[in-house]
Amino acid sequence: MYLTAEFPDAETAAAAITALRGRGLHPAAMDLFSTTPIELAPGVLDRPSRMSLAAVAGAVALCLLTVGFVYFTQHHYPLVTGGMPLFSFWATGVVFFEMTMLGAIATTFLMFLWESGLLRRRAIGPVPTVEPGSIWLRVDCQTPQVAEAGECLYHAGATKVERLK
């Protein structure tokens, strides 16, 4: 069961989230919808992210792959070089750098798709129609909690509360 509530501003939406959390609802069960980003105080509705870490990991991974590839090509020419690599490893620094950055770019984009839930096939639940300037809070709660949560939303300053399945 979903409850959706419209709020006139970010402050009342934040107050509703804090009140719902105080009644045991987990932040993962709440989603705030708006046409512009809403800045809430830290701790109200934090969304932990591993995007930076993943970008670094992607950069390192593609860098290592490139280093391995260049090393491989240095030693796999069908020319007799007396066991020596055919060209200087260090002169390929530009290629390493660009591939490292490409790894970071690709991983950042993939992590954006993953963390934002875009392209994910699982059901995302009902989405309220958000007009410019309005803020909607959607709460995923058990049937026994609905009445209490609805009251809490009104109390915090919601102008409209709807039940959705």
Residues of the shown chain interacting with another protein in the complex, contacts defined by CB under 8 A: 10, 31-40, 45, 47, 49, 51-52, 55, 69-70, 73, 76-78, 87-88, 91-92, 94-95, 97-99, 101-102, 104-106, 108-109, 111-113, 115-119, 124, 127, 130-134
d(CA 109, CA 104): 9
Q: Which is nearer to another protein, 55 or 152 (CB)?
A: 55
Strand partners, 137: 5, 32
Decide: helix, strand or coil at residue 78.
Answer: coil
Q: Which is nearer to another protein, 47 or 165 (CB)?
A: 47
Q: Which is nearer to another protein, 48 or 144 (CB)?
A: 48
Q: Which is nearer to another protein, 89 or 151 (CB)?
A: 89
Q: In a 10 Å sphere around its CB, with 0-12 CB exposed, 13-18 middle and 19+ buried, how is residue 59 labelled? A: buried
d(CA 58, CA 125): 32
- Closest separation in Å from C-beta 144 to another protein: 25
Q: In this structure, is the dihedral angle defined by the CA atoms of residues 92, 95, 97 and 99, taken in order, positive or negative?
A: negative
- Closest separation in Å from C-beta 88 to another protein: 7
Q: Which is nearer to another protein, 46 or 151 (CB)?
A: 46
CA-nearest of 130, 135, 143, 137 to 162 is 137
- Closest separation in Å from C-beta 71 to another protein: 11
Q: In this structure, is the dihedral angle defined by the CA atoms of residues 145, 147, 152 and 153, taken in order, positive or negative?
A: positive
Strands, E assignment, the chain:
2-7, 30-33, 135-140, 160-164
